[in-house]
Structure 1
Amino acid sequence: MLKKLFTAAATLVASGCFAHAEMPEQINFGIISTESSSALESSFGPFLEDMQDFLGVPVKPFFATDYAGVIEGMRFGKVDVAWYGNKAAIVAVDRAGGEVFAQTIKDDGSRGYHSLLIANVDSPLNSLEDVLTCDKTLTFGNGDPNSTSGFAIPGYYVWALNNQTPEDCFDRVVSSNHEGNALAVATGKVDVATNNTESIYARLAKSNPEAAAQIKEIWRSPLIPSDPVVWRGDLSDEAKQKIYYFFMQYGRFGDLEKVKEERTVLSNLSDGWGPFLASSNAQLLDVRQIEAFKARLKAEKSGDEAGVKAAEEELARLDEMAAIIGRSGY
Structure 2
Amino acid sequence: MSADSLRFTTSGGRRDGSQAVWRALATVLLAVACQAGAWAQGGSAAPVPLRFGILPLGGAFESRNDWDPVLADLSRAVGRPIRVLSVTSYEALEQAIQRNEVDMAFLSGRMALDAVTQRGMRVVAQVTRHDGLPGYRALLLTRKTGPFTTLKGLLAEPERWRLARGESRSVSGFIVPQLQLFLPNHIAMETRFLSEVVGTHQFTALAVANGEADVATNNSADFERFRLQFPAEAARLQVIWESDIIPHAQIVVRRDDPPEFRRKVQAFLVDYARSAGPRGDTERGYLKALHDLAGFVAADNSSLLPAATLAYQLAKQNANTAQWVNEAAKQARLQRIESSYAEQREALRAER
Q: For the superposition of Structure 1 and Structure 2, which TM-score range results when normalised by the shorter chain?
A: 0.7 to 0.9
Q: CA deviation at 1:76?
A: 2.4
Quote the offset at 1:72 in angstroms: 2.5
CA contact (8 A) 2:47 2:81 kept: no
Give 3-state SS (helix, strand or coil) of 1:68's partner. helix
1:135–1:41 distance in 2 versus 1, CA, 3 Å: closer
Of the three residues 317, 321, 338, the one matched with 1:297 is 317
Structure 1: how far apart are the matches of 2:266 and 2:273? 14
1:310 aligns with 2:336: yes
Q: Tell me, yes or no, if structure 1 residue 284 matches structure 2 residue 338.
A: no
What displacement does 1:252 show?
1.8
The Cα of 1:316 is off from its aligned counterpart by 5.3
Kindly indicate whether the alpha-carbon contact (under 8 Å) linking 1:101 and 1:279 is maintained by their aligned counterparts in 2. yes
The match for 1:42 among 65, 77, 82 is 65
Q: Structure 2: how far apart are the matches of 1:288 and 1:169?
A: 26
Aligned length: 300
Q: Aligned pair 1:210/2:232, yes or no?
A: yes
**Partner residue in 2 for 1:27:** 50
Q: Name the residue aligned to 2:37.
A: none
Q: Which moved more, 1:219-228 or 1:203-212?
A: 203-212
Does the CA-based 8 Å contact 1:142-1:194 persist in structure 2? yes
**What TM-score comes out, normalization by structure 2 length?**
0.79
The offset of 1:280, in angstroms, is: 1.5
Deviations 1:2-50 (A, max 9, x none): xxxxxxxxxxxxxxxxxxxxx9611111111111122112211111111
Q: Which has the larger radius of gyration?
A: 2
CA RMSD of aligned residues (A): 2.3
CA distance in 1, matches of 2:61, 2:190: 33
**1:170 correspondence with 2:196:** no
What runs of 5+ residues in structure 1 fail to find an aligned partner? 1-22
- Using the alignment, how far apart are the partners of 1:39 and 1:114 within structure 2? 22
Alignment pair present for 1:244 and 2:266 = yes
Counterparts in 2 of 1:145-160, with a 5 A limit? 145-160=168-183
Post-superposition CA distance 1:72-94 (Å, at most 9, x none): 22232221111111111112112
Matched, 1:262 2:275: no
Relative to 1, partners in 2 of residues 1:173 and 1:159: Cα closer, same or farther, differing over 3 Å?
Answer: same
1:193-248 CA-to-partner distances (Å, cap 9, x unmatched) read 100011111x1111111111111111000001111111111212222121111111
Asked if the contact 1:85/1:227 (under 8 Å) is kept, the reply is yes
Question: Could you tell me how far 1:107 is from its partner in structure 2?
Answer: 2.5
Question: Mapping of 1:90-101 within 5 angstroms?
Answer: 90-101=113-124
Supply the distance in 1 between the matched residues of 2:147 and 2:253 (Cα, whole angstroms).
Answer: 45
Structure 2, unpaired ranges of 5+: 1-45, 325-329
Larger relative contact order (C-alpha < 8 A, sep ≥ 6)?
1
Instruction: Give the letter aligned to residue 300 of structure 2.
Output: S
Q: Does 112-121 or 49-58 show the bigger shift? A: 49-58
Q: CA deviation at 1:266?
A: 1.1
Partner residue of 2:27?
Answer: none
Give the aligned partner of residue 252 of structure 2. Answer: 230
The AA in structure 2 aligned to 1:181 is T
Partner in structure 1 of residue 20 of structure 2: none
1:259 is displaced (CA, Å) by: 1.6
The aligned counterpart of 2:86 is: 63
Q: Separation in 2 of the partners of 1:31 and 1:192?
A: 27
Report how far residue 155 of structure 1 moved.
Answer: 1.5
Please give the alpha-carbon distance, in whole angstroms, between the structure 1 residues aligned to 2:80 and 2:345: 42
Instruction: Give the TM-score, by structure 1 length.
Output: 0.84
Tell me which residue corresponds to 2:41: none
- In 2, the alpha carbon distance for the partners of 1:298 and 1:286 equals 18
Deviation track 1:150-200 (CA, whole Å, cap 9, x = no partner) reads 011111012222222024531112211111101001001000110001111
Cα distance in 2 for residues equivalent to 1:167 and 1:37: 25
1:274 to 294, 301, 304: 294
**Inter-partner Cα distance in structure 1 for 2:52 and 2:347:** 30
Please report how far the alpha carbon of residue 283 of structure 1 lies from its aligned counterpart in structure 2 after TM superposition: 1.5
Instruction: Read off the aligned partner of 1:223 and give its amino acid letter.
Output: I
Percent of aligned pairs sharing the same letter: 28
1:310–1:123 Cα change, 3 Å: farther
Alignment-mate amino acid for residue 181 of structure 2: V
